[in-house]
């Protein structure tokens, strides 16, 4: 007695401790969940998009409840009916008796627990389908019908996925409920097995037979819907139903649906009369029919009828696929025109293309990031992106193609002493200003010619709000804002005039960019969200404080418009005296009948599309243009494609979230461009679907590919993150090693140019070569040239330019052999004179970077232009544009400036002046002075404040003489080695080294 009492006394205090721990844990978890929901609402409400969030919450909650109840109730009823109508006096074997003894004490918990658990899983599964359900109830007709059933395209995009999901969910519910009933019937003796005999009670027979009838009936509906799904199925030849599907599979599914419906009726008969034989025989016949009608017959038709004459049988269905694909990808109106390009570079050939020639971009946005950083970064806590953006601006009445970048914040650049939690949250809160350079100009020393530079920025872009609180590399969160009479704590920019702040100007954020953290409750929930005590305890937080987070422009647009696929690149534009990030949004679908399906990510990454990707699409529209204010974070969505039925559907769901194009300012429209990601998808499609003849399409005799990036030789792969190391050997045996992405198709480029037969406009273009398998005999000749008019401005406020989005496809005669990018790159690399000069530039501590190879349809043919950059391998160096390569036909030229190269290429006079025609002058550069920062020289990491003035000017005569001496020494050395004269070789080596040192000194302007 004593021992028992003592043991009981020791255990009893543990019960409340365990309960307390569980309750506290539940409260903590509940608080974190609440904090997440509360902060989400605060973020959306601050932006004015709370309806988007609440609609998602309500729809998701209702979907969860529907999924939960739809699963839990039938399973509960199925188990309950089996238990209620169990045979009371059934004689059970000893094993079942033991099972009942174990389960009976837990019966109520099991009967409720199993349906609840299954319901939770079903609810979680269905809650993610909220968008599909909302699209169904707000669907918009496409106004076009499919060629097989004559149904509106909207049926396939909005209705068919909904009904197939309903049937699939219902089938799962009925199947699980049937299995639960079967288990209960067996456990309680309603279903018994004895030898070859199966005994079943009347109640169990009715329940199981009705359940089976429901399941078979649902399969009948599923088979009926499957015939429509055949129109979006990807086949080896095309996407969509082909001859065998139309003439064997689809009729077979209709027959199978009818047989399944009859079998469902037979199970009802079994429930009534108690004979299982007829329903079992019917089920067997259904399975046999499925094998014969659904498998063997289509195989016979395909193998014996279609295959021997496939092109004849499939011709009509290929035509369906071509038409649907061109419609779904928005390329049905592409203007095709023959371009009989010449390869003869005659004098004055560019006279008719003077405007295009003057706008040829020499500044490669993929190379000059380091140059921008060294000349314009100023402090280690700023950064420019690895790849800059291309835009156009009006400068003194002329539209200039511009390479532009935001000077964003980089907290990783802080020293270890400055990299404190306080500084990261309260001091280093924003980037500052933009830097922009003329795309078609270079200074005499190879630096860019800046039209906007310095900190604060000044130049041709006028006055604008320069602080960048919302950028691509903004911190995870910053706490900003304070009363007017408080001391500024945010570092604004290095000014060199404020001694109290170490030469830095300070500021206090005055915009409305984030939720308030001015009260204790908000501080508490945000401290929980970011798991930071700084939010809760720091004395820098005050009644006017705001917290800024989710600051990347793409992230902000994606959150407020979850129905959009957002472009991978947001670009900055100076619009109405503010820095605005412009983001393109797409509506997509994978359910457009007969349209060819492809992987969206693979098309954008520039790799071969894979059928196994999960992001397959066969319909896309650039339906929304969005802007994000870099100072306030305000997101504005504009309905760009007002005819898109998918966007119209979502406008019904979120009626206040998207504005009309009419509210776009004229200045914003001037900076809207045709999106690169959409263009990549369309060029991938047009590589095959420029062919509109079914027989030619089947033969594949005129299929095209986008060429590989010519400056590298890495192979294409579906893994865009992987890399290849490629080695190029020039004519003199020198090797250049480059690491390149495997997803390495040549990027499209923006250029202001004149497409033949059209006016000069801001265009996005790409080239095509023949589609062929890898091999030594591949022909890298031009077959096509696709350009998209990217100029949306000029028509005034709220009006798109009439030519915007117009696609033009230049096709080469099949008998022509116009060199493609790879052939031209090979001409450059294998030319002896070019190789000698490149080798001289590579000698010593320098590397050569060949920039983007541009292709321009000018002079009656195609002109290739490639800038050549030289960069020292020493610390703090940056690429400088030193040479330009050009080609026309099989002729090439290699000069210091594009203007000189063109004149050399076209018989001494090209007939037009290039943008760098003044680069050989004194090097004056009014746009690159870098004024606006009084301590501009104080940052050792910035290199220089300006672009290319003063001491940076290259002594051209000295450099040319040094290069000539180096070339002579190199030839003498080669001859000495050939003659086995080691003394002469050593003497030549010495002269070569002296010449390289002289060239380096001349290049540095010393």
| Residue recorded with tokens 């206040």 | 656
Q: What pLDDT is recorded for position 554?
A: 97
Sorting pLDDT into bands at 50, 70 and 90, what band is 923?
very low
- Say which range, 103-117, 533-547, 581-595, 707-721, has the weakest mean pLDDT: 707-721
For residue 736, the SS3 value is: strand
What pTM did the predictor assign?
A: 0.85
At residue 470, φ and ψ (nearest 5 deg) are -130, 100
Q: Are 197 and 95 in contact (CB under 8 A)?
A: no
- Say which range, 82-91, 400-409, 572-581, has the weakest mean pLDDT: 82-91
Cis peptide before 456 (omega within 30 of 0): yes
Above 60 in pLDDT, residue 506? Answer: yes
Above 90 in pLDDT, residue 841? Answer: no
Q: Are 180 and 114 in contact (CB under 8 A)?
A: yes
Rg, Å, the chain Cα set? 36
**What letter does residue 700 receive in the DSSP assignment?**
T
Number of CB atoms found within 10 A of residue 503's CB: 14
Q: Are 239 and 595 in contact (CB under 8 A)?
A: yes
Token reading at 547: 């917290």
Above 50 in pLDDT, residue 734? Answer: no
Distance CA 131, CA 561 (A): 12
Sorting pLDDT into bands at 50, 70 and 90, what band is 983?
low
Distance CA 438, CA 449 (A): 6
Handedness of CA 879, 884, 889, 890 (dihedral sign): negative
Q: What pLDDT is recorded for position 127?
A: 95
Q: Are 488 and 509 in contact (CB under 8 A)?
A: no
How many alpha carbons fall within 13 Å on the CB side of residue 780?
16
Above 60 in pLDDT, residue 714? Answer: no
Above 60 in pLDDT, residue 973? Answer: yes
Q: What pLDDT is recorded for position 1000?
A: 67
Q: Are 384 and 407 in contact (CB under 8 A)?
A: yes
Above 60 in pLDDT, residue 975? Answer: yes
Token reading at 523: 């501080």
Distance CA 704, CA 683 (A): 10
Closest C-alpha among 1000, 401, 394 to residue 667: 394
Sorting pLDDT into bands at 50, 70 and 90, what band is 98?
low
Distance CA 231, CA 208 (A): 36
Distance CA 772, CA 928 (A): 47
| Residue recorded with tokens 């009936």 | 217
Task: Give tens-digit pLDDT for 213-224.
Answer: 999 999 999 999
Q: What pLDDT is recorded for position 628?
A: 98
Above 90 in pLDDT, residue 252? Answer: yes
More confidently predicted of 795 and 91: 795
Above 70 in pLDDT, residue 92? Answer: no
Q: What pLDDT is recorded for position 779?
A: 75
Distance CA 686, CA 810 (A): 12
* Mean per-residue pLDDT, 294-315: 94
How many alpha carbons fall within 13 Å on the CB side of residue 666?
5
Q: What pLDDT is recorded for position 83?
A: 84
Sorting pLDDT into bands at 50, 70 and 90, what band is 860?
very high
Q: Are 531 and 524 in contact (CB under 8 A)?
A: no
C-alpha 318 chain-centroid distance: 30
* Mean per-residue pLDDT, 223-230: 96
Counting DSSP H helices and E strands in the chain, the numbers are 30, 36
C-alpha 891 chain-centroid distance: 38
Q: What pLDDT is recorded for position 723?
A: 40
Sorting pLDDT into bands at 50, 70 and 90, what band is 645?
very high
Closest C-alpha among 717, 768, 770, 707 to residue 610: 717
Q: Are 976 and 988 in contact (CB under 8 A)?
A: yes
Which of 671-685, 770-784, 989-1003 is the most confident on average?
A: 671-685
Sorting pLDDT into bands at 50, 70 and 90, what band is 90?
low
Q: What is the DSSP string of 428-479?
A: S--EE-EEEEEEEEE-TTS-EEEEEETTTTEETT-S-B-EESS-TT--SEEE
For residue 640, the SS3 value is: coil
Q: What is the DSSP string of 490-540?
A: EEEEE-S--GGGTSEEEE---S--S-B--SHHHHHHHHHHHT-HHHHH-TT
Q: In whole angstroms, how far apart are CA 991 and each of 244, 388, 499, 733, 966?
A: 77, 40, 53, 21, 7
Number of CB atoms found within 10 A of residue 780's CB: 18
Q: What is the DSSP string of 669-689?
A: HHH----HHHHHHHHHHHHHH
Nearest-5° Cα angle at 845, 842 to 849: 45
Distance CA 173, CA 165 (A): 12
34-42: long-range contacts at Cβ-Cβ below 8 A with a sequence spacing of 24 or more?
34/525, 35/524, 35/525, 35/526, 35/528, 35/529, 36/529, 38/525, 39/515, 39/525, 39/526, 39/529, 42/515, 42/516, 42/522
Q: What pLDDT is recorded for position 724?
A: 41
Q: What pLDDT is recorded for position 958?
A: 73
Distance CA 355, CA 341 (A): 19
Q: Are 468 and 478 in contact (CB under 8 A)?
A: no
Token reading at 361: 């971009």
* Mean per-residue pLDDT, 584-609: 89
* Mean per-residue pLDDT, 328-340: 95
Above 80 in pLDDT, residue 990? Answer: no
Distance CA 326, CA 585 (A): 20
Q: What pLDDT is recorded for position 777?
A: 60
Specify the pairing of strand 335-338 against strand 807-811.
Answer: parallel
* Mean per-residue pLDDT, 77-81: 93
Distance CA 447, CA 437 (A): 10
* Mean per-residue pLDDT, 556-563: 96
* Mean per-residue pLDDT, 228-239: 93
**What letter does residue 35 receive in the DSSP assignment?**
H
Cβ partners under 8 Å of residue 381, min gap 6: 409, 410, 411, 413, 414, 428
Largest CA distance in the chain: 118
Distance CA 615, CA 610 (A): 10
C-alpha 252 chain-centroid distance: 41
What percentage of the chain has pLDDT greater than the value 90?
Answer: 66
Nearest-5° Cα angle at 737, 736 to 741: 135
Above 50 in pLDDT, residue 937? Answer: no
- Say which range, 162-166, 283-287, 916-920, has the weakest mean pLDDT: 916-920
* Mean per-residue pLDDT, 780-785: 93
* Mean per-residue pLDDT, 129-155: 97
- Say which range, 325-329, 466-470, 847-851, has the weakest mean pLDDT: 847-851
β-pair partners for 636: 627
Cβ partners under 8 Å of residue 691, min gap 6: 322, 697, 702, 703
* Mean per-residue pLDDT, 957-969: 74
Above 60 in pLDDT, residue 499? Answer: no
Sorting pLDDT into bands at 50, 70 and 90, what band is 466?
very high
Above 70 in pLDDT, residue 236? Answer: yes
- Mean pLDDT, the chain, whole residue set: 86
Handedness of CA 677, 681, 686, 692 (dihedral sign): negative
Above 90 in pLDDT, residue 13? Answer: no
Q: What pLDDT is recorded for position 996?
A: 74
Q: What pLDDT is recorded for position 918?
A: 77
SS (H, E, C) 261-287: HHHHHHHHHHHHHCCCHHHHHHHHHHH
């Amino acid at each position: 007695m004593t021992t028992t009492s003592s043991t009981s006394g020791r255990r009893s205090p543990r019960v409340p401790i365990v309960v307390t721990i569980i309750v506290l844990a539940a409260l903590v978890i509940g608080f974190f969940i609440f904090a997440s929901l509360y902060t989400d609402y605060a973020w959306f409400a601050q932006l004015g998009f709370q309806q988007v969030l609440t609609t998602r919450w309500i729809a998701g909650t209702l979907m969860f409840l529907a999924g939960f109840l739809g699963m839990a109730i039938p399973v509960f009823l199925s188990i309950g009916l089996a238990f209620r109508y169990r045979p009371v006096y059934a004689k059970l074997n000893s094993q079942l008796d033991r099972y009942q003894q174990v389960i009976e004490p837990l019966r109520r918990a099991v009967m409720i627990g199993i349906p609840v658990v299954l319901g939770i899983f079903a609810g979680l599964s269905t809650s993610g389908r909220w968008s599909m359900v909302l699209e169904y109830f707000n669907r918009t007709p496409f106004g076009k019908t499919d060629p097989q059933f004559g149904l509106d395209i909207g049926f396939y995009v909005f209705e068919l996925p909904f009904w197939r999901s309903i049937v699939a969910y219902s089938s799962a519910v009925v199947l699980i409920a049937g299995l639960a009933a079967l288990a209960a019937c067996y456990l309680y003796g309603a279903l018994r097995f004895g030898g070859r005999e199966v005994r079943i009670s009347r109640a169990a027979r009715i329940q199981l037979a009705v359940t089976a009838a429901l399941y078979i009936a649902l399969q009948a509906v599923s088979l009926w819907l499957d015939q429509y799904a055949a129109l979006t199925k990807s086949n080896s030849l095309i996407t969509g139903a082909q001859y065998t599907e139309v003439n064997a599979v689809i009729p077979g599914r209709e027959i199978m649906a009818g047989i399944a419906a009859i079998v469902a009726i037979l199970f009802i008969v079994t429930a009534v009369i108690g004979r299982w034989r007829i329903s079992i025989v019917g089920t067997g016949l259904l399975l046999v029919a499925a094998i014969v009608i659904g498998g063997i017959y289509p195989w016979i038709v395909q193998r014996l009828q279609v295959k021997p004459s496939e092109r004849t049988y499939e011709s009509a269905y290929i035509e369906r696929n071509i038409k649907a694909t061109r419609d779904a990808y928005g390329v049905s109106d592409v203007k095709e025109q023959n371009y009989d390009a010449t390869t003869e570079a005659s004098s004055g050939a560019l006279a008719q293309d003077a405007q295009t020639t003057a706008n040829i971009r020499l500044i490669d946005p993929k190379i000059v990031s380091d140059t921008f950083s060294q000349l314009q970064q100023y402090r280690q806590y700023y950064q420019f992106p690895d790849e800059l953006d291309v835009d156009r601006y009006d400068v003194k009445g002329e539209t200039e193609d511009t390479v532009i970048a935001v000077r964003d914040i980089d907290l990783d650049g802080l020293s270890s002493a400055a990299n404190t939690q306080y500084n990261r949250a309260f001091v280093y809160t924003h980037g500052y200003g933009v830097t922009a350079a003329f795309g078609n100009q270079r200074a005499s020393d190879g630096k860019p010619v800046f039209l906007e530079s310095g900190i604060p920025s000044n130049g041709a872009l006028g006055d604008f709000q320069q602080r960048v609180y919302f950028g691509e590399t903004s911190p995870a969160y910053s706490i900003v804002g304070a009363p007017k009479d408080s001391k500024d704590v945010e570092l604004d920019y290095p000014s060199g005039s404020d001694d109290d702040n170490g030469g830095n100007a300070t500021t206090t954020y005055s915009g409305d960019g984030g939720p308030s953290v001015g009260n204790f409750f908000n501080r508490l929930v945000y401290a929980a969200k970011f798991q930071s005590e700084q939010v809760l305890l720091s004395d820098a937080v005050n009644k006017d404080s705001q917290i800024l987070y989710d600051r990347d422009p793409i992230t902000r647009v994606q959150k407020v418009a979850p129905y959009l696929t957002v472009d991978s690149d947001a670009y900055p534009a100076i619009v109405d005296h503010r820095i605005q990030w412009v983001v393109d949004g797409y509506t997509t679908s994978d359910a457009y009948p007969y349209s060819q399906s492809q992987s969206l990510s693979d098309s954008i990454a520039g790799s071969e599309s894979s059928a196994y990707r999960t992001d397959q699409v066969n319909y896309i529209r650039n339906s929304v243009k969005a802007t994000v204010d870099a100072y306030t974070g305000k997101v504005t969505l504009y309905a760009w494609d007002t005819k898109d039925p998918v966007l119209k559907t979502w406008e019904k769901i979120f009626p206040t979230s998207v504005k009309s194009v009419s509210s776009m300012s004229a200045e914003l429209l001037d900076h809207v461009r045709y999106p690169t990601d959409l263009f990549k998808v369309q060029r991938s499609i047009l590589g095959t679907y420029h062919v509109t003849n079914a027989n030619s399409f089947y033969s594949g005799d005129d299929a095209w590919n986008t060429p590989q990036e010519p400056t590298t030789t890495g192979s294409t792969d579906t893994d865009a993150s992987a890399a290849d190391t490629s080695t190029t050997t020039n004519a003199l045996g020198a090797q250049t090693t480059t690491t390149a992405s495997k997803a390495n198709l040549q990027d499209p480029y923006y250029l202001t140019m004149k497409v033949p037969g059209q006016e000069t406009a801001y265009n996005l273009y790409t080239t095509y070569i023949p589609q062929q398998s890898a091999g030594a005999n591949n022909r890298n000749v031009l077959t096509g040239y696709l350009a998209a008019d990217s100029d949306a401005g000029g028509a005034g406020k709220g009006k798109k330019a009439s030519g915007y989005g117009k696609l033009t496809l230049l096709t080469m005669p099949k008998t022509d052999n116009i060199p493609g990018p790879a052939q031209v790159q090979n001409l450059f690399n294998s030319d002896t004179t070019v190789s000698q000069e490149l080798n001289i530039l590579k000698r010593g501590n320098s590397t050569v970077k060949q920039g983007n190879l541009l292709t321009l349809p000018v002079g009656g043919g195609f002109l290739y232009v490639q800038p050549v950059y030289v960069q020292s391998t020493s610390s703090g160096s940056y690429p400088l544009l030193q040479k330009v390569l050009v080609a026309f036909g099989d002729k090439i030229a290699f000069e210091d400036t594009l203007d000189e190269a063109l004149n050399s290429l076209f018989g001494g006079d090209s007939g037009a002046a290039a943008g760098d025609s003044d680069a050989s002058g004194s090097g004056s550069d009014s746009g690159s002075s870098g004024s606006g920062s009084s301590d501009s020289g104080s940052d050792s990491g910035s290199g220089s404040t300006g672009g290319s003035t003063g001491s940076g000017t290259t002594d051209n005569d000295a450099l040319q003489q040094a290069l000539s001496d180096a070339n002579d020494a190199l030839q003498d050395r080669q001859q000495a080695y050939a003659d086995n004269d080691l003394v002469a070789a050593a003497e030549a080596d010495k002269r070569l080294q002296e010449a390289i040192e002289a060239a380096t000194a001349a290049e540095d302007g010393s």
